[in-house]
Structure 1
Amino acid sequence: MSAGGFTTGEIDFIVPSTGQATKTWYKVYGDLANRKNRPLVALHGGPGVVHDYMLSLSDLWTKNEIPVIFYDQIGGGESTHLPEKNGDGDFWSVKLFIAELNNLLKHLKIDEDFDLLGNSWGAMLAAEFATTKPKGLKNLVLASGPASMELFMASQKEKLARLPQEIQDTLKKYEDAGTTDDPEYKKAMMPFLVEYVCRLKPPPAEFMVCLDWLEKDPTVYYTMNGPSEFHIIGTLKTWSIVDRIPEITYRTLLTNGRYDEVDDNCLQPFFDKLQKVKWIQFSESSHLAHWEERDRYMEVVAHFLEV
């Protein structure tokens, strides 16, 4: 165990089509070999963001002795970047990220007994992973993740309409021109992020790190999502798990915030179709309840995980 209470490492992740050695970087809070409680694996959002904005979940280790595992999904953060795959929708697939998760679980020797928490895209990935019936998965937390992108885009459209007309016009101007990399477009995005993604002022430094990484390498985010949370033109645009939700048989906790970009309509299919489900909404939060109502969020998750 390091002085900071965590250990880090890299795992070889073989992806033949890359023609190179690729690695997954991870961080573990707790001792996986001598543990009191089942480990929790945290799946970050994006796609193409990094683990840093999930780090508040390390509270589950310091307060509840739940080992927590973070990692940067391939294409982001400290894991291997593949900018040459920008725009390659066949490469950046759900299947790729499921394979990476399975590789991580086996390497850390926790594939026989673990819990899973995904936020945003991470919740979408967690739901997809759960449909593969992993035998070691016990509990599932789907935090602010939509059941379909159609529902998510409807939520975004409704929220964009609440912004000042000047901001709406600016966003549309750059989207129509295909110049969403312009600094003015990024500036015009901020009121939406402040209202529906993270309402803390100032926002956590760990969240800002994620925005910095997207600036450095937007490959995965642009390919799968698009240039922003509300201009979705990537391969996930038609994604849906609605018809496959009944295949998820694990105890599941749904969470979102009252002001979340992932509104209640986005979660409703999960609540309607899951066999063992509980839904908690955080009244003072948007998309990052694990920061915006940090203490309560950890209490809710720890209780659900039966600690």
Structure 2
Amino acid sequence: MASAGRAYFQPDTTLAVQNGGVQMIPISTPRGKFNVWTKRFGHNPRIKVLLLNGGPGATHEYFECMESFLPQEGIEFIYYDQLGCGNSDNPRDTALWSLPRYVEEVEQVRQALKLNKDNFYLLGHSWGGILAAEYAFKYQQNLKGLIISNMMMSCPAYGQYAQDVLAKQMKPAVLAEIRQLEAKKDFANPRYMALLLPNFYAEHVLRLPLDQWPEPVNRSFAKMNQSLYVTMQGPSEFGIAGKLLTWDRTPDLPRLTVPVLSIGGKYDTMDPEHMRMVAAKVQHGTALICPKGSHMSFYDDQQTYMAGLTRFILGVDKGEKEVKL
């Protein structure tokens, strides 16, 4: 075990000067070249998990809880700020905020990091789950495993779930005031977020008291690229209204042959039954529904989430196509 631990934490011997695993990767886009930030944590030639943050427009930082769980299992993971996010370049060009372009960005990152079908696990959370799925539909031959975390495979169905299920759980007076502000498109009104935070975010995004949200989450959300977020998602997590409005890959799920873990939370902004359906429709799927979890189940149902995630990754590493949790 001690020797395995030393191997996991060994530095990159190809570097003359160590920098903590950070690698800036040049990305070609239709608007020129930019650089995106990545950071490797640990070393395992067979298991390399690339993390795709949500938002869109948040940062890798809310994934920092992974450091408390994955190293002890020998799982290497890679933080990555997508273009326009966190430590990566921000070209401030909405023409670059597009799903197909982000898929090609992930492919360029994969090539630069030398990830392949023998070691490459892709974990996408929320918007990152859309990006991970879309990447898999085009490039699944490069993947060893795919984790779709807290994301439905249909934005219309997500919007419908918000209206038909989640909205009805709100107090009628609160919902009425939210609807009034939305009708006026008065999203910048402080009252709008003042209503959503306790009545929606604290119920369905992260089920902890607002003053106890983990510091990495607050730090990441404080850096949200609002241009990217609003362009793709719309002004609120309460439904969807941006470029992703009509995105729906549900009919294509049987095309996925790579092992897939579909994660949801009982109190998620996403329908947990939809997440079960995703696991059933892909060729080799496993569902993990966190009974205490919401959209950020890796914080509010942490033990369930991390146990299931590590079991899936280690199971696929052993050759299991459909991992039993």
1:47–1:40 CA distance, 2 compared to 1 (3 A):
same
Question: Residue 104 of structure 2 aligns to which amino acid in structure 1?
Answer: A
| Partner Cα distance (2:303, 2:168) in 1 | 32
Secondary structure of the structure 2 residue equivalent to 1:49: coil
The alpha-carbon deviation at position 36 of structure 1 amounts to 5.3
2:103 alignment partner, one of 98, 101, 104: 98
Unaligned runs of 5+ in 2: 1-10, 13-18, 316-325
Tell me the residue number matched to 1:132: 138
Contact 1:175 1:231 in 2 (8 A): no
1:271–1:295 CA distance, 2 compared to 1 (3 A):
closer
The alpha-carbon deviation at position 266 of structure 1 amounts to 3.0
| Partner Cα distance (2:204, 2:70) in 1 | 28
The alpha-carbon deviation at position 167 of structure 1 amounts to 2.0
Equivalent residues in 2 for 1:148-297, closer than 5 Å: 148-157=154-163, 158-190=165-197, 191-201=199-209, 202-214=212-224, 217-297=225-305
Contact 1:94 1:125 in 2 (8 A): yes
1:30 alignment partner, one of 12, 17, 42: 42
2:126 alignment partner, one of 107, 114, 120: 120
Secondary structure of the structure 1 residue equivalent to 2:278: helix
Question: Residue 187 of structure 1 aligns to which amino acid in structure 2?
Answer: A
Matched residues, number:
294
TM-score if structure 2 supplies the norm length?
Answer: 0.85
Range 156-165 or range 140-149, more displaced:
156-165
Tell me the residue number matched to 2:62: 53
Unaligned runs of 5+ in 1: none
The alpha-carbon deviation at position 271 of structure 1 amounts to 2.8
| Partner Cα distance (2:73, 2:45) in 1 | 10
RMSD of the TM alignment (CA)?
2.0
Contact 2:116 2:144 in 1 (8 A): no
The alpha-carbon deviation at position 6 of structure 1 amounts to 4.7
Q: Which has the higher contact order (CA 8 A, sep 6+)?
A: 1
**Percent sequence identity over aligned pairs:** 27
TM-score if structure 1 supplies the norm length?
Answer: 0.89
Question: Residue 47 of structure 2 aligns to which amino acid in structure 1?
Answer: R
